[in-house]
């Protein structure tokens, strides 16, 4: 008993010191050493690519209300179209995903080369895709009448891909989710999160959203973060668990250098790739393939495979992850344009994955022909604009170099490497091997050194 108490006091002391010490800024659990954190984050940092799934009652309305297109995101429709709560709730009786096949979804994610799946356990509308004992506004109350997350989680464990849950703090359904009785709602939400961490095996990431509501505080976020990590210590939790994103955004506007500590393990730029990444911080860009998260029958504005692939490379070159979204239909089908794009990305990764998974950010500030990723002893030169004159210039590289070859070339035929006064010039084939991104591998000695 005494030992237990002493242990509590030591942790409390460390917490107090950490909160006062700016060096701990952005380390969400101060009692964790850097080494422990690196270990916990290792799979996620290596993964680089995940599949986001937005699925819920908004997949039934699919971007329209009473036959009219509703502008904006389909998953925001309840708010944007001003749908009364009890009218929106009727969608639950129409949600019947008879074509849902978890094995297929997971197999598609695997084929795409994604290393984790993040699915909406609950979005802003408050509807739960899982069997929650704490509400009837869940999958059990649909015609389908079965837990929709369980088969997906089981398949993820079986096919060895991480299962992760998105959970919205903002909730348009629960009567206490705003106002005086918010504490009741927080108890309810915590109860549901305990269900999610108890019933679906090990969870990779908890991905919060909707943290911007005025009732939610950074203190609540930190407390939640700690309690969730006590249940599954290896859990990774995004920055939207607390208010760090909003506070830093507001402070940045005021040009204040903020060194306060915020809850969460990684930053979450949405629909954007930060120009220079988020140096010194783990981060993940989440993005849609068309213009919507949830299924939208009127949205045909699909990004091209090349565009998406280059975004993945761009993100990797800045040290981030890419969480690419699909919005399945209410019947449970992933739209064909999404399938095609995911499969094309998978074909590229099957050949070039070495240049993405487990890589670190580029040592170059800027490359006019493309991007760079790296691993111990190698640079991966991602050539988007193939040189017309057959000379690929690697500016300012000072390291001693070894072999160079096209990664997709099975024979690894060596390319000539020249060392003019500054940098490196690689002689590449006249015709472009892959117009989207040809990866040229360049072996180097030691850590990359680049002169400006």
Task: Tell me: does residue 291 bind ligand H79 (CB under 6 A).
Answer: no
* C-alpha pair distances (Å), 300 with each of 158, 290, 293, 328, 337: 34, 7, 13, 14, 9
Q: Which two tokens stand for residue 192?
A: 């549901």
Burial of 273 (C-beta count, 10 Å sphere; 0-12/13-18/19+)? middle
Within positions 135 to 164, which residues make up the interface with ligand H79, using CB under 6 A? none
Min CB(169)–ligand H79 separation in Å = 11
Question: How big is the CA angle at 205 (ends 199 and 206), to the nearest 5 degrees?
Answer: 70
Q: Are the CB atoms for 208 and 266 separated by under 8 Å?
A: no
**How far, rounded to the nearest angstrom, does the alpha carbon of residue 65 sit from its chain's CA centroid?**
30
**Total binding residues toward ligand H79, as defined by CB under 6 A:** 8
Task: Give the x-and-dash track for 19-58 against ligand H79 (CB under 6 A).
Answer: ----------------------------------------
Cβ-based nearer residue to ligand H79, 270 or 331 = 270
Cβ-based nearer residue to ligand H79, 162 or 167 = 167
Min CB(53)–ligand H79 separation in Å = 11
Closest CA to 124 of 55, 182, 171: 171
Cβ-based nearer residue to ligand H79, 335 or 448 = 335
Cβ-based nearer residue to ligand H79, 64 or 101 = 64
d(CA 425, CA 393): 5
Task: Give the x-and-dash track for 268-287 against ligand H79 (CB under 6 A).
Answer: --x---------------x-
Within positions 52 to 81, which residues make up the interface with ligand H79, using CB under 6 A? 73, 75
Question: How big is the CA angle at 83 (ends 79 and 89), to the nearest 5 degrees?
Answer: 105
d(CA 439, CA 118): 29
| 373: phi then psi, degrees, rounded to nearest 5 | -125, 170
Min CB(74)–ligand H79 separation in Å = 9
Q: Which of 8, 22, 158, 212 binds ligand H79 (CB under 6 A)?
A: 212
Min CB(400)–ligand H79 separation in Å = 45
Question: How big is the CA angle at 297 (ends 291 and 300), to the nearest 5 degrees?
Answer: 45
Q: Which two tokens stand for residue 29?
A: 């659990």
Q: Are the CB atoms for 140 and 93 separated by under 8 Å?
A: no
Q: Nearest residue to ligand H79, using CB?
A: 212
Task: Tell me: does residue 17 bind ligand H79 (CB under 6 A).
Answer: no
Cβ-based nearer residue to ligand H79, 260 or 403 = 260
Cβ-based nearer residue to ligand H79, 212 or 231 = 212
Within 13 A of 40's CA, how many CA atoms are on the CB side?
Answer: 22
Task: Tell me: does residue 293 bind ligand H79 (CB under 6 A).
Answer: yes
Cβ-based nearer residue to ligand H79, 75 or 372 = 75
Tokens 């990866």 correspond to 439
* C-alpha pair distances (Å), 38 with each of 42, 118, 161, 235: 6, 21, 20, 13
Cβ-based nearer residue to ligand H79, 248 or 427 = 248
Min CB(299)–ligand H79 separation in Å = 14
Min CB(259)–ligand H79 separation in Å = 21
Binding site residues, ligand H79, CB under 6 A: 73, 75, 209, 212, 246, 270, 286, 293
């Amino acid at each position: 008993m005494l030992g237990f108490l002493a242990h509590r006091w030591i942790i409390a002391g460390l917490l107090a010191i950490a909160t006062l010490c700016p060096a701990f800024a952005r380390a969400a659990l101060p009692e964790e050493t850097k080494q422990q954190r690196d270990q916990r984050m290792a799979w996620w940092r290596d993964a680089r690519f995940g599949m986001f799934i937005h699925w819920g009652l908004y997949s039934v309305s699919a971007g329209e209300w009473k036959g009219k297109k509703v502008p904006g995101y389909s998953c925001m429709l309840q708010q944007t179209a001003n749908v009364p709560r009890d009218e929106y709730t009727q969608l639950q009786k129409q949600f019947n995903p008879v074509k849902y096949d978890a094995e297929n979804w997971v197999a598609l994610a695997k084929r795409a080369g994604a290393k984790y799946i993040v699915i909406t356990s609950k979005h802003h509308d408050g509807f739960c895709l899982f069997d929650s004992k704490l509400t009837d506004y869940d999958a059990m109350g649909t015609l389908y009448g079965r837990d929709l997350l369980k088969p997906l989680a089981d398949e993820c464990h079986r096919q060895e891909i991480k299962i992760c849950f998105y959970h919205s703090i903002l909730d348009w359904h629960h009567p206490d989710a705003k106002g005086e009785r918010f504490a009741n709602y927080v108890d309810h939400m915590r109860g549901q999160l305990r269900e999610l961490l108890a019933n679906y095996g090990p969870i990779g990431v908890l991905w919060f959203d909707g943290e911007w509501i005025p009732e939610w505080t950074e203190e609540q976020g930190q407390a939640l973060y700690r309690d969730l990590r006590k249940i599954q210590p290896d859990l990774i939790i995004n920055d939207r668990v607390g208010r760090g994103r909003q506070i830093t955004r507001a402070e940045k506007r005021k040009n204040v250098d903020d060194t306060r500590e915020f809850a969460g393990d990684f930053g979450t730029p949405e629909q954007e790739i930060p120009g220079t990444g988020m140096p010194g911080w783990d981060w993940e860009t989440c993005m849609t393939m068309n213009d919507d998260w949830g299924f939208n029958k009127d949205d045909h504005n699909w990004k091209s495979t090349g565009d998406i692939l280059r975004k993945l490379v761009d993100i990797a070159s800045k040290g981030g992850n890419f969480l690419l979204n699909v919005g399945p239909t209410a019947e449970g089908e992933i739209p064909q344009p999404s399938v095609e794009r995911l499969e094309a990305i998978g074909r590229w990764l099957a050949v070039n994955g070495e240049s993405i998974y487990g890589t670190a950010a580029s040592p170059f500030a800027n490359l006019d022909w493309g991007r760079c990723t790296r691993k111990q002893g190698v640079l991966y030169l991602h050539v988007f604009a193939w040189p017309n004159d057959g000379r690929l210039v690697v500016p300012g590289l000072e390291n001693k170099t070894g072999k160079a070859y096209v990664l997709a070339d099975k024979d690894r035929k060596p390319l000539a490497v020249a060392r003019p006064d500054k940098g490196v010039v690689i002689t590449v084939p006249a015709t472009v091997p892959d117009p989207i991104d040809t990866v040229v591998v360049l072996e180097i000695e030691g850590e990359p050194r680049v002169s400006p």
